[in-house]
Amino acid sequence: MKVALGVTGCIAAYKSVEILRGLQKRGVVVQVVMTRHAREFVGLLTFQSISGLPVITDMFAPTDDPEIKHIQLASEIDLLVVAPATANILAKFARGLADDFLSTLYISTTAPLLVAPAMNVEMWAHAATQENVRILGERGVHFVDPEEGYLACRTVGAGRLAEPEKIIHRAWEMLNLESTAKRDEPLEKDERAAIRLVDTPCRDLKGERILITAGPTFEALDPVRGITNRSSGKMGYRLAEAAIARGAEVTLVTGPVSISPPRDARTVSVRSAEEMYRAVMDNFENSQMIICAAAVADYRPVSVAEQKIKKSGDRITIEMEKTPDILAAVGRKKGDRAIVGFAAETENIIANARKKLVEKNADLIVANDVTARDAGFDVDTNRIILITADETAELPLVSKREAANWILDAALKIKTDSLSHA
């Protein structure tokens, strides 16, 4: 893996050396790119000695390499990290200015970008800076926000560069996310671009407590056999990952799956529909948004055999009864919560989903055709339809991570609109 580390003109530039070392310890090749003003704070030799590579400082420096340097580096890197990032470089990135190597590298690469701002408290709070941060966030740029503390200008407040270990940790997460996406989502034509779009960095869900159900349920027939379905849990898990990336506290209630839950989710593992119902009800009061992405069995055997059912005769009759309707239950008592349900359909998709929206008192139904080979169960892509009381929006084929962010966007809009009209 290769990272370009951009260093800009700020007193915190000396901390970039620690970021360089931390990435190297994880086996990452780091190419340092310094702006002209950064060289006023830290010498080139320091970075060159540690990285083992010449430091790039000049857009038009003579070289024996016939390749255009910024284009070559743009295509080689897996991640661009800018730490510290001044108000000036944020403005350049936001407005598409490319008057030095670092700003030109930014608009030349499809690799994701991680930015760690550092500046005076008033500069960070200024409307222009915050507008540039918002623009970059909407484009898919990731941020490690500055921390509060004593600043070089002898003031106290937000603006101090985040601790190097925090920046290193976030960069390492992003590198692993990209490599995972390349393995798990082979249908994406441009995986780097997909990661940049999919892993939304804005923290618009900070403070939200979201309950997500995922995976199938398993309804036992006997100690050996049971009734289940093809759900892999991938859509629910991608929702949990996306919500956490956007700042939410996530409780993930999951049926039996073969994938690992997000590290930062509070995970509750269940098997049956009854167990999932109880887990959802136990966590209902503490949740502000509930997303029922699990494929819950509608029926279960009335009785479960204590011993394995032996083969005898040509037929067997199993009496079934309804399981608890989780989506309907949360819909009945939702209050000011945003409730999202899923409709896995094989026919009359929109009509059936809209009926479900009304009957379950949900705010949003995510519908899809599970007969499609590239969407629905046990694949890494999805083609969903977002249905609310006022709107029906059909999305093209996207990765499940990107679909997750569309769903979260719609749910957040519903919640925000509801509060504004309260």
CA 70 to chain centre: 29
N- to C-terminal Cα separation, the chain: 50
Angle, alpha carbons 111-113-119 (nearest 5°) = 160
For residues 86 and 103, give the distance between their C-alpha atoms in angstroms, rounded to a whole number: 12
Residue 273: enclosing H or E segment and its boundaries? helix 273-284
For residues 57 and 324, give the distance between their C-alpha atoms in angstroms, rounded to a whole number: 64
Active site positions, annotated: 153
CB 333 within 8 A of CB 284: yes
Phi and psi, residue 297, nearest 5°: -60, 135
Strand duo 289-292 + 266-269: pairing: unpaired
Phi and psi, residue 71, nearest 5°: -70, -40
Please spell the DSSP secondary structure of 53-104, one letter per residue. Answer: SPPB--TT---S--S-HHHHHHHH-SEEEEEEE-HHHHHHHHHT---SHHHH
